[in-house]
Amino acid sequence: MTAFPIARGSESHFLYSPPMAITIPSLNESENLEFGYAPSRAEVHKTSVSSEPTIVVASYNIRYAVGPHLISGGLFRKVAGRGVRNRAAQVERNIERAARAFSDDKLLPRPDVIAVQEADKETARAGRHHVARELAEALEMNWVHVPAGIPRGEKPKGRQWWLDFEEPIGLFDTGDTGIALLSQLTFSNVTRIDLPWHECAWRPRLAMAATVTVGPRRLRIFNAHVDPHAGVGGQLEQLETLLAEAQKDDGPTLIVGDFNTLSKNKILETRGYLQSRGYSTPFPSGTSTWHGMGIRLHADWIFYRHVQISRWGVARPLGISDHWPIWAEIDLS
């Protein structure tokens, strides 16, 4: 594993050629990009996949592999004043379950690329597990993790009551959360994208991008985790930043992730904004990708440009998170 430092707000492109080590000056150690390499299976699968014009891409807000009970779990913590016991063992089991779901061809075809959100790195709430790394190792995939760089010792800002169920990371917890890409293919041009955020200074929002090569074609993949606390205007400001980066490359592009479109208005605004800039999605508005206490919402999306999608779906049921994985088969031919 090699860590790649990068300063917040800057653009950086890395050609990932493991296991070569690269050292780049860092302004903030907490924002190091981490890469991991699975030489045995990944190299073999990379050769077979690269000759095919199609790959399967999935996106999953894994909720640090703690389970699906966001609302009831939050209420329990408020009443009982404590979290779940044996958290490390619980998260370990859920990572193993996620690995089986992504590899057994039952809920979804085996993905070649997985975009992960809420991928905690060694936090107390995740039982000190490195969720992205351990899931990638179980699947024998290459991986890159982009940490959020949460502020230490800064108390969370007050939020709307319906968004106050999530278990926070401790004020002085040495771990972090973040997003990640896992892939049977090697990455190139990995970019950290810091999204503008105003309403939750305790939790920066970010996206990332990386390029994979499929036969003679290159596919640029963006993984985003948009702020649920912002209003529609705040979310669109984050999408503008994301699209500004995506427009730097006019080739085949995917934008996937948790867009936190938790209302009909946010669904319409987000979908309309992406479509007005040349992106399409196979997912009908209102497709259930999030669940809790009998509520179902459409939070997760796959948007595409200059490719075709032959199949898509939502991997239900899977009780590892309050989200379900979404997936699409991408045809670059």
CA distance 29 to 229: 27
In this prediction, residue 203 carries a pLDDT of 67
Evaluate whether 87 touches 93 at the Cβ level (below 8 Å).
no
pLDDT digits (tens, 9 = 90+) for 311-323: 999 999 888 999 9
Evaluate whether 139 touches 103 at the Cβ level (below 8 Å).
yes
Which residues of the chain, if any, have pLDDT below 70?
1-31, 39-52, 69-84, 156-165, 199-203, 229-233
Please give the C-alpha separations between residue 20 and each of 4, 13, 47, 217, 242, in angstroms, as whole numbers: 11, 16, 20, 25, 29
In what helix (H) or strand (E) does residue 135 lie, and over which residues does it extend? Answer: helix 131-139
Report the chain's mean pLDDT, rounded to a whole number: 82
CA distance 119 to 225: 11
Q: Which residues contact 86 (CB under 8 A, 6 or more apart)?
A: none
Evaluate whether 193 touches 223 at the Cβ level (below 8 Å).
no
Interhelix angle 264-276/232-246, rounded to 10 degrees, is 20
Task: Provide the β-strand partners of residue 210.
Answer: 221
Neighbours of 277 (CB within 10 A): 15
pTM: 0.85
In this prediction, residue 78 carries a pLDDT of 53
Nearest C-alpha neighbor of 314 from the set 293, 299, 331, 292: 299
In this prediction, residue 18 carries a pLDDT of 38
In this prediction, residue 24 carries a pLDDT of 30
In this prediction, residue 213 carries a pLDDT of 92
CA distance 211 to 254: 10
